[in-house]
Amino acid sequence: MSDPSPKGETDLNTLLAEMTPQLDEQIWVFLTLTARDHALEEKALMRFDEEEGATYILKEADAEGYDATFRCQRITLQIHSALEAVGFLDAISSALTLNGISSNVVSAFYHDHLFVPVEKTAQTMSVLKALSASARE
């Protein structure tokens, strides 16, 4: 069965110039468990299995009673970036690094999602908007 969706943008300047960061007001947290938890899987935005355990990204309220970490908000980069695009996340990561902002990135089929500390969300949005504006010049 073929995928009817477009393959996504690969041109770095276009990706930067046309990205629109969209803030999710939800507070998210990360947690890890050595064994999979099927009840959490139903609530998780994402689960990723590693040798040491399963990592979950959950709404903060859904992680109550667990040893969760990294209170963050998600910023979705609203441009369909191709999975094989080169340099997009590097440019974003470099701009965030220059501003002392950590991020955890999840790349999905259509968009890249940045999980940034709650206290750095406004600054991150400003950095991303400035990066996009400079690419349009």
Residues 119-135: pLDDT tens digits? Answer: 999 999 999 999 999 99
Residue-wise pLDDT tens digits, 13-54: 999 999 999 999 999 999 999 988 888 889 999 999 999 999
Confidence of residue 3 (pLDDT cuts 50, 70, 90): low
Q: Which tokens is 2 given?
A: 């073929």
pTM of the model: 0.91
Average pLDDT for 67-94? 96
Q: Specify the residue for token string 């790349």.
A: 107
Residue-wise pLDDT tens digits, 45-68: 999 999 999 999 999 999 999 999
pLDDT at 2 over 60: no
Q: Find out whether 21 and 36 touch, Cβ atoms under 8 Å.
A: no
**H/E segment holding residue 33:** strand 28-33
Q: 44 CB contacts (<8 Å, ≥6 apart)?
A: 56, 57, 58, 62
Q: 115 CB contacts (<8 Å, ≥6 apart)?
A: 28, 30, 57, 70, 72, 73, 74, 75, 103, 104, 105, 106
